[in-house]
Structure 1
């Protein structure tokens, strides 16, 4: 008898319960911070949350009324085309001409379940495994996850406070390789609020055109700019890019419609057709009532948007002034969106109430624990050493929250 006969046979390896592809996705840091802040508040703690990129205003009444009427119309109780209601696609084309200054065909529009689905479908449609995407950093936390889920490789190109968080063509060229297929461009930027000048946008667009690189441009904050800054659509200044550019947008930020989940993707016909096929298997059509509300938003005037922008501008100036008073903080004034992105590297290594944070994640944890203020650490958007604070919340809460931050950090 073999000496090993009484030994159990080696067990087979346990099958993976969650796929590596999905298991490797990081949780949305911004939503996680917002959820934690709301949970603490529900538990009775006076937490002030600067985490979520969500306007505190209600959706304008005329949009809500359009949705109420749509809910009563039995036609909206049924399936509609996966690519979007024709009337909404026509409204998006008209809005693009009005706001961006160039013509598109309604046939080249795909209406998506919020901007995030547009981001995912753009990369899923464009990328093959190993394709590289140049990702200016700091970047929105969802971009690299969507790239990797599509099999692509995100390549960070970092621009710090000295550059106003805007990358240069020279930096992009240094990062370009034979595997580079796409450049992600976001102006006004989440998380920094940076806005590229028309000249910078044109230079980057011409560089992409010269090297045959696709551009995926996220323009969802186009109407939220300050101090004379203007959002410049890359296709307006480099129209020759039309055959290799995908434009992402939506109603969430401009019209205070984050919960309605309506975004869109505009691009070359073959790309939009392929992305529409993908969506037909993912989700089918966006909820018809939300689409009808989006039609009302896009075809109405922008007076409600102007009023919200005025409030954001006031809050922006208050936040920047108060953060700028903290020793160790550097903060360029954001010119767009509704975020401030202070450089807090000067605070790291200092001791506050017995705690010495060495990363921005540790600093954010300290602020939540000791000041009851929720912010998102820079690790969610690129390198450590930064914080993102949304100023899309009420004036009183904003002043109170930043005041708490000032008081705590003055102790170090």
Structure 2
């Protein structure tokens, strides 16, 4: 049977591909260190687990409203007011089966064939694929390494056309860990307002910032930008709840209504038990979030200094999320490989360290490695990468 064109054009996930190879080697008995994880290595906090068990025991295992439980929407409203000083109504919120599903549903309801979405590179792997599935056209703007992988208002002006429908801003970024400042966001927002470009603000890593850096939502900078922005967020990264699959979108009521109508024919509703758990996540103590954030910051501080000592590696220290995104183009050249993808394969086969090639993120000279694993494993992995390069150079 011939498959639909929409899936034939999809690019397989490089993250999943390297993970599958690593798992295959593990199954063969090899000591593989996987640094491809896109999720915290902490369990979901206990009070959230207890809330889920309580919900099940009380029979909250039935359908819920498509757009999410009213109580969860209220907690999201409270969170936005508390953290960013933003006021939303329940009609401006949809709860989805993860932030990824919120993005997918959003693109489905705003894009017509040929509509363009500006996507800064490096990007999270699913942005362009989701745009293509909605019959839109990804338009890439390169976030230069010299500008900390961030785009400029001038680049947006050059890329904007009559078909430009939206732009994706991910801060803190996956894969770079970079954060846009208020001034940078304000200038980007001015261009988007001028050209009537919908701003999709992916803020899923907002709670994971380090040093003097802090997250700012572009929606909080002015009433005009709030009206022009759809915020995407969720509990996956902040509360170590990736498997619970609860994310949400906030913004323009007409867009949210359309998303809710579409979801009614796709998922019916997010999992009821996970919604009750998410209520507890926002209602309960946030101390475990800070414990997790501090652990990531400690790992980053230690591992970054060791990583930049590897021959051929250069790396801008990230401000948030839990990824390092070094440029390894010189390392690839020094070790005699034809591409970063080949270098990554060689590292996995010879040293049993799994990292993700930057090609999947629109950055052919980089690799992404996650420090959402133990410090012991991270130090061992960096030692293996260092010896890999040393042996290649000597050989």
Question: What band does the TM-score fall into relative to the shorter chain?
Answer: over 0.9
Deviation of the 1:347 alpha carbon: 1.6
Choose the corresponding residue for 2:260, options 264, 269, 276: 276
For the residue of structure 2 that corresponds to 1:216, the secondary structure is strand
* 1:104-153 CA distance string (max 9 Å, x none): 11221111111110110111111111011110100000000000000111
| Number of residue pairs matched by the alignment | 392
Tell me the residue number matched to 1:38.
23
In 2, Cα distance between equivalents of 1:401 and 1:177 = 45
Cross-structure match for 1:95? 79
Q: Name the structure 1 match of 2:244.
A: 260
Deviations 1:241-267 (A, max 9, x none): 233321100100011111111000112
Cα distance, 1:383 vs structure 2: 2.8
329-338 vs 164-173, which moves further: 164-173
1:89/1:111 contact within 8 Å kept: yes
Secondary structure of 1:217 counterpart: strand
Q: Is the 1:67–1:292 Cα contact (8 Å) retained in structure 2?
A: yes
Give the one of 313, 319, 332 matched to 1:335. Answer: 319
Residues 177-214 of structure 1 deviation map (CA, whole Å, 9 limit, x = unaligned): 22111010000000000011111111111211121110
Instruction: Determine the structure 1 residue equivalent to 2:381.
Output: 401
* 1-structure distance, mates of 2:326, 2:245: 30
Distance between the aligned counterparts of 1:122 and 1:34, measured in 2? Answer: 28
**Take 1:61 and 1:80, find their aligned partners in 2: how far apart are those partners?**
24
Quote the Cα distance in structure 1 between the aligned partners of 2:137 and 2:355.
Answer: 28
Shift in Å at residue 230 of structure 1? 0.9
Aligned CA-pair RMSD: 1.2
CA distance in 2 between partners of 1:193 and 1:146 (Å): 22
Q: State the 1:229 CA deviation.
A: 0.6
- Paired residues of 2:236 and 2:244 also in contact (CA < 8 A): yes
**How does the TM-score come out when normalised to structure 2?**
0.97
Alpha-carbon offset, residue 316 of structure 1 = 0.9
Q: Distance in 2 between matches of 1:204 and 1:408?
A: 42
For 1:256 and 1:135, the matched residues in 2 are separated by: 27
State the match for 1:22 in structure 2: 7
The counterpart of 1:66, out of the listed 33, 38, 51, is 51
For 1:338-396, what per-residue CA distance to the aligned partner results, in whole angstroms no more than 9, with x for missing partners?
00000111122233xxxx32221111111111110000101000031100001000110
The answer to whether the aligner puts 1:388 opposite 2:372 as a matched pair is no
Any unmatched runs of 5+ in structure 2? none
| Alpha-carbon contact 1:92-1:106 (below 8 Å) kept | no
Structure 1 residues not aligned, in runs of 5+: 1-15
Partner of 2:169: 185
The offset of 1:28, in angstroms, is 2.3
Please name the residue that 2:142 is paired with. Answer: 158
TM-score relative to the length of structure 1: 0.93
